[in-house]
Chain A
Amino acid sequence: MRKVFVITKREFLKYVRSKWFRAFFILPFLGIGIIFLISSFTPEGGLRAAYGEEKAEKIGVIDHSTRLLPYLVNAEDYQFIEMDSLVAFDMVMAGDIEGFLIIPGDSDLYNPIYYSRNISIETDKLSGPLNTAALKLSLEEKGLDASLADELNRRVRITPRKITETGEKGGEELVVLGFIMVISLYMFIVLASTLMARSAVEEKLNGMIELIISDISPSGLLFGKLLGVTASVFLLVVVWILVGITLMGNAIFFINRTIDISLPAGVLVYFAGAFIFGYTLYTSFILLFVSSVTSEQEVNQSMSAGIVILMIPYFLSFFWVIENPGSIVSVVSSLIPFFTPLVMPLRLSISTVPFWEIILSIALLAAAAWGILILAGKVYRISMLMVGKPLRLREIFRLIKMK
Chain B
Amino acid sequence: MLKVSEVYKTYGNVEALKGLSFEVEKGSVYGLLGPNGSGKTTTIRIILSIIYPDKGDVEMDFEKIGYMPEERGLYPKMQIDELIYFFGRLRGMERERIEKEMDFWLGRLELMNRKKDKVQTLSKGLKQRLHLLISVLHDPEFLIFDEPFTGLDPIAIKELRELFSELKERGKTVLLSTHWMDQAEQLCDSVCLIREGERIYAGPLEDLKEAHRKNDIYLEIKGTVDFKQFPGITEIVSKGEGFIIRTKNEPGEFLRSLTKITNVVEFRLVYPTLEEIFIEEVEGA
| A129 to B90 CA separation, bound complex (whole angstroms) | 72
| A206 to B75 CA separation, bound complex (whole angstroms) | 7
Task: Tell me the B31-87 residues at the A interface (CB within 8 Å).
Answer: 45, 48, 50-51, 65, 67-76, 86-87
| A212 to B73 CA separation, bound complex (whole angstroms) | 10
A215 partner, pick from B68, B73, B91, beta carbons under 8 A: B91
Interface residues on B, range: 20 to 34
- 9 new A-B pairs (CB below 8 Å) besides A208-B74, A211-B73, A216-B90? A7-B90, A202-B75, A208-B72, A210-B70, A210-B71, A211-B131, A213-B50, A215-B91, A385-B51
Q: List the count of A-B residue pairs having beta carbons below 8 Å apart.
A: 51
Tell me if B124 is interfacial: C-beta within 8 Å of chain A: no
Least CB distance from B140 to A in Å reads 11
In chain A, what residue has the closest Cβ to B146?
A210
Least CB distance from A403 to B in Å reads 8
Task: Tell me the A2-52 residues at the B interface (CB within 8 Å).
Answer: 2-3, 6-7, 10
| A70 to B92 CA separation, bound complex (whole angstroms) | 87
Tell me if A214 is interfacial: C-beta within 8 Å of chain B: yes
Question: Given A214-B65, A214-B67, does the pair A206, B73 have CB atoms closer than 8 Å?
Answer: yes
Tell me if A207 is interfacial: C-beta within 8 Å of chain B: yes
Residues in B neighbouring A215, C-beta threshold 8 A = 87, 90-91
Residues in B neighbouring A10, C-beta threshold 8 A = 86
Residues in B neighbouring A385, C-beta threshold 8 A = 45, 50-51
| A209 to B41 CA separation, bound complex (whole angstroms) | 14
Mask, B101-133, CB within 8 Å of A = 1, is 000000000000000000000000000000100
Mask, A193-224, CB within 8 Å of B = 1, is 00000000011001111111111100000000
B50 engages A211 (CB within 8 Å): no
Most buried by B among A2, A206, A208, A210: A210
Task: Tell me the A296-334 residues at the B interface (CB within 8 Å).
Answer: none
Number of interface residues of A (CB under 8 A): 19
In chain B, what residue has the closest Cβ to A210?
B69
In chain B, what residue has the closest Cβ to A208?
B73
B71 engages A208 (CB within 8 Å): yes
B87 engages A214 (CB within 8 Å): no
Mask, A105-137, CB within 8 Å of B = 1, is 000000000000000000000000000000000
Least CB distance from A228 to B in Å reads 12
| A298 to B148 CA separation, bound complex (whole angstroms) | 30
Residues in B neighbouring A202, C-beta threshold 8 A = 75
Tell me if B134 is interfacial: C-beta within 8 Å of chain A: yes
Least CB distance from A397 to B in Å reads 14
Least CB distance from A292 to B in Å reads 14
A214 engages B92 (CB within 8 Å): no
Residues in A neighbouring B68, C-beta threshold 8 A = 211
B50 engages A210 (CB within 8 Å): yes
B76 engages A206 (CB within 8 Å): yes
Residues in B neighbouring A210, C-beta threshold 8 A = 45, 50, 67, 69-71
B51 engages A2 (CB within 8 Å): no
Question: Given A2-B92, A6-B86, does the pair A208, B50 have CB atoms closer than 8 Å?
Answer: no
Tell me if B248 is interfacial: C-beta within 8 Å of chain A: no
| A202 to B75 CA separation, bound complex (whole angstroms) | 9
A208 engages B75 (CB within 8 Å): yes
Least CB distance from A136 to B in Å reads 71
Residues in B neighbouring A213, C-beta threshold 8 A = 50
| A213 to B52 CA separation, bound complex (whole angstroms) | 13
Mask, B201-243, CB within 8 Å of A = 1, is 0000000000000000000000000000000000000000000
Residues in B neighbouring A6, C-beta threshold 8 A = 86, 89-90
B67 engages A211 (CB within 8 Å): yes
| A212 to B89 CA separation, bound complex (whole angstroms) | 12
A214 partner, pick from B69, B86, B89, beta carbons under 8 A: B69
Question: Given A6-B90, A216-B90, does the pair A211, B76 have CB atoms closer than 8 Å?
Answer: no
In chain B, what residue has the closest Cβ to A398?
B12
In chain A, what residue has the closest Cβ to B87?
A215
| A216 to B86 CA separation, bound complex (whole angstroms) | 12
Interface pairs (25), CB distance under 8 Å: A2-B92, A3-B92, A7-B90, A10-B86, A202-B75, A206-B75, A207-B72, A208-B73, A208-B75, A209-B71, A209-B73, A210-B45, A210-B69, A210-B70, A210-B71, A211-B131, A212-B90, A214-B50, A214-B65, A214-B67, A214-B69, A215-B87, A216-B90, A385-B45, A385-B51
| A211 to B70 CA separation, bound complex (whole angstroms) | 9
| A24 to B91 CA separation, bound complex (whole angstroms) | 34
Residues in A neighbouring B69, C-beta threshold 8 A = 210-211, 214
A207 engages B90 (CB within 8 Å): no
